[in-house]
Amino acid sequence: MWLPKTGNDEMRILHRGLAKAGIIFFLLVNAFVSLAQKPAPPNIIFLLTDDHRWDALGVAGNRIIQTPNLDRLASQGVLFKNAYVTTAICCVSRASLLSGQYMSRHKITDFDTPFSPSALAQTYPLLLKKAGYKIGFIGKYGVGTKHQPSTEYDYWSCTKKSQPDYEVLNAQGQLIHDTDTVSSDVQKFLGQFANQGPFCLSVSFKAPHELDGNPPTYVVQSRFKELYSDVIIPQPLTADPTYWNSFPDFFRTDQNIARQRWKPLLSTPALRAETVRNYYRLITGVDEAVGKLVEQLKALHLDQNTIIIFMGDNGFYLGEHGLEGKWYGHEESIRVPLIIYDPRQPTNRRGNKSTQIALNIDVAPTLLSLAGVPIPADMQGIDLLGNLKNSKPARLDFFYEHTFMGSPRIPKVEGVVTSDFKYMNYIEHGYEELYDTVHDPHETTNLAHNAMYTKKLKALRNRYKVLKQAAQ
């Protein structure tokens, strides 16, 4: 390299300058290479079913129901075997899903109360939008139905009713089932936003929720009406009248909504068998929609960078304890399916069946973490996938609360759920339940007045007070 004739000092200065320039050039090149190699933010699809109990999936051990597409997602992702909701009613649970907070903190306790503008801004879709995501919502929003945040979303296709109609007329005058309508809207969203950067789509099916009425009914897609017709539906252990009769007088009344709805749908083996078949048929319809979604992601070449999360908004009694519905603290009511499928994970991490306690309040922080977005301090949930790497579970118990309406229609209940015991307190009446869920998984024997469990009862009472305070 030719250099001009200079003195020694000038030469040293020149060399130092060239060296510094070389270092700066090297750093700039590395920065550009690093930027080019940085993976694109993942697309996220959150799928929610309505009244979907944890064991109504083939992968959960149900040998009757047909859910091959959801089972496949679970086999390639993570199935959380102990997933729960912190309040088993749709409006509150959906607010917890969006905000990552207990009802005690987000204060949405009914079907009419919307998020305040400041609270809405801290829900996972709006936080992802702020981070550059396109966001969409399809189906049943379910929070403050009269004040929906449709203008905040890039794509919005939600009913203004608190519950969608199962069948609506299309432009050609044909009746279209809600599950098919939702599936069609998913296809429209993906077609529109596939090439517009990262997206987060929240999809809320009405299925398998009953159609409210007197009596309630199940409206099934015509192609599934004969499915399961030749299958024998077994009676659950706690469908025996003994268990309904064991409830205290304030609970054991015909004014109890769960008992009212039980009568026309589950009060005989024949009624129960057909109700369960219809419930399963609606879930199989959702599974079909999930299969179509996965196929479209492949066709659009989005399948390798799109995370799919599937969950139920609360569980559902199908005759257990002489009840229909949700609300109370039994496993049938509060335990739900939860699958997280991330195609970016190495194959040796797929097919994991986690036994850690997962909650609906964990959905928002988990989604934000997957997108690389900071989790707000006010969120009370955890990053589920991040915590799978820990040798110890992130939580050993959680606070349960349900205070909508109250006695006699829906007696208010709060409590603590642990990995081996459950404590529930009907707060209007001071009535306590204590179940050993390891040795009594069907919750047949209330141990609250058993002298052998006095110490355990006292410990869970104290823990209940601590968790109740922390939930606020």
pLDDT of residue 9: 56
pLDDT of residue 163: 86
Phi and psi based region of residue 71 (left: phi greater than 0; alpha: psi -120 to 50; beta: remaining): alpha
Residue 416 lies in a domain: no
CA 373 to chain centre: 19
- As given in the structure block, the two tokens for residue 138 are 């399809």
CB 396 within 8 A of CB 122: no
pLDDT of residue 173: 85
Helices 90-99 and 363-370: angle between axes, nearest 10 degrees: 30
CA–CA dist 184, 187 (Å, integer): 5
What one-character-per-residue DSSP string does 342-409 give?
Answer: -TTS-GGGTTEEEEEEEEGGGHHHHHHHHTTPPPPTT-----HHHHHTSSS-S-SEEEEEE-SSBTTT
CB 313 within 8 A of CB 93: yes
CATH for 61: 3.40.720.10
Residue 445 lies in a domain: no
Sign of CA dihedral 382, 385, 390, 395: positive
CB 290 within 8 A of CB 73: yes
Residue 370 lies in a domain: yes
Residue 466, Cβ neighbours under 10 Å: how many?
12
CB 271 within 8 A of CB 324: no
Residue 210 lies in a domain: yes
CA–CA dist 422, 82 (Å, integer): 14
Q: Could you give the count of Cα atoms lying within 13 Å of 415 in the half-sphere of its Cβ?
A: 26
Looking at beta carbons, which pairs linking 225-233 to residues 24 or more positions away fall under 8 Å?
225/281, 227/66, 227/277, 227/280, 227/281, 227/284, 228/64, 228/277, 228/280, 228/281, 229/277, 231/64, 231/277, 232/273, 233/64, 233/272, 233/273, 233/276, 233/277
CB 285 within 8 A of CB 228: no
Residue 202 lies in a domain: yes
Residue 191 lies in a domain: yes
Q: Where are the beta strands (DSSP E) in 178-322?
A: 199-204, 306-312, 317-318
Amino acid letter, residue 160: K
406, β-bridge pairs = 410
Residue 33 lies in a domain: no
CA–CA dist 308, 197 (Å, integer): 17
Q: pLDDT tens, position by position, for the chain (472 residues)?
A: 444 455 555 555 545 554 555 555 554 445 444 444 567 899 999 999 999 999 999 999 999 999 999 999 999 999 999 999 999 999 999 999 999 999 999 999 999 999 999 999 999 999 999 999 999 999 999 999 889 999 999 999 998 888 889 998 887 888 999 999 999 999 999 999 999 999 999 999 999 999 998 889 999 999 999 999 999 999 999 999 999 999 999 999 999 999 999 999 999 999 999 999 999 999 999 999 999 999 999 999 999 999 999 999 999 999 999 999 999 999 999 999 999 999 998 887 788 999 999 999 999 999 999 999 999 999 999 999 999 988 788 999 999 999 999 999 999 999 999 999 999 999 999 999 999 999 999 999 999 999 999 999 999 999 999 999 999 9
CB 315 within 8 A of CB 52: yes
Structural domain including 62 reads: 43-395
pLDDT of residue 7: 55
Pairing of strands 338-341, 78-84: antiparallel
Question: What is the number of structural domains in the chain?
Answer: 1
Backbone phi, then psi, for 307, in 5-degree steps?
Answer: -85, 135
pLDDT of residue 390: 86
CB-based contacts of 234, cutoff 8 Å, min separation 6:
none
CA–CA dist 451, 449 (Å, integer): 6
Residue 427 lies in a domain: no
pLDDT of residue 217: 94
Q: Which residues of 107-119 are buried (b: 16+ CB within 10 A; e: fewer)?
A: ebbebebbbeeeb
